[in-house]
Structure 1
Amino acid sequence: MKPRLIIQKSASDLGINNACAAVINNVTVSNDQSFMGVLQSNLNHVASHLNSLISNSVYEGFSRQLKKLGYENTVSANEKLLKRFVSKGAQSINNVVDAYNAVAIRHGVSIGVHTYHHQEDIHVFRCEEPRSFRPLFAKKDITIPTGDLLYSCGDAPLASIGLVDADAHDFRLTQDSSSLLVVVLGHESTPDEFNQSVIEELIEMLRQKMPGLNHYFLERGLDHGC
């Protein structure tokens, strides 16, 4: 049976009802910089009208989401990415990261991409108690506080949103990663069609260089008991 995307009530109450996730197989992660051109093009386009982002519903939605989590005046991960690129320029990480950064910059969203070989259900929820979590490239674990947003593969955290916006180091992309999980949580102002189209755009971009790539979307379910 294929894995599911399960949104628990605590996350649903935060406005995360239209989250989407997909599994992509036959991926090749490499140092190929094929997608740097589109990343730079998207960055140039967005940077040309930065002032209008103040009233952009996508950016506003992530700010509201952080406020509901208790983090007033906190810059969301997608906005941090944009500001870093505008300030320092876009830098290549690897082909897959470059591709999803290009899509994220274009649409103003946060996209989670993780190595995925476990085939377990993905759970989205707010922590009921502090959780131990090792962020990407960190040398040791940190503590995610009660109430922060998390999504996990089974019991293993994949990413946190709140005090720390980070992906899990244990599910980082490497050149051995051939199956990936892509997650767009979105917020109350991003409909299902928008979130899914963001993932589809990333998949089609990757397919330009990986014609053998295949994918499927996870069936989404709401867990009203949590």
Structure 2
Amino acid sequence: HHVNKSSSELEALMERMKRLLEEREDDDASEEEMFTRFEKEKKESLLVVSAGFAEEVVPPSPVARFVDDPSFGYQDFARHGEDNPPTFKAQDYTWEDHGFSLVNRLYSDIGHLLDDKFRTACDLTYYNMASHEGVDTSMLRRALFNYVHCMYGIRYDDYDYGEVNQLLECSLKVYIKTVTCYPERTTRRMYENYWHQFRHSEKVHVNLLLMEARMQAELLYALRAITHYMT
């Protein structure tokens, strides 16, 4: 039964990808509508909590003994009481046009190395989805990357965030939020709870994408701050 359920989940996901590709041609959403879709996704991402924290006592992380400041960790992006944190417009400060050249100026060649790292994680594919071969997974990879940036308030105005909602199921969003923001709370159950039929290598690729997306988001904020300071 479990296999049946997960194979129908996989079929449904592939079906949604196919439909979204077809709709891309016809979807002439207004700028306003595109903005609304992003804001909705951003707000919802703030509410995605790793379900199960309450009943799962998280043992102290083995890394804890190396940490000087035990309270150091992810601070929720929305300050307390603020239900709509600011949006970072990606087109105003992109990795390709701004971050890359600044970081290279500060530390020669590091920009190239980081760029290769981001590109490798984003372009990695076996053209497989579980048992299906010859599948273009770029839509799925972009949804994962952009969702992490969305959680950090970064918006690409040429991307339709409606796709994120169609492609990333709830258990996957919980996994993404946990791995990206509270990695020490990640449990095996969360890992097993999404994309039941996918290979481990595909799920490891999800982790690589999430980590690189988070690193790029952090760099964008830091480098933008340095740019403002320098000008």
State the TM-score, normalizing by the size of structure 2.
0.27
State the TM-score, normalizing by the size of structure 1.
0.27
Which has more strand, going by share of residues? 1
Bigger Rg, which one = 2
Which has more helix, going by share of residues? 2
Relative contact order, CA 8 A, sep 6+: which one is greater?
Answer: 1
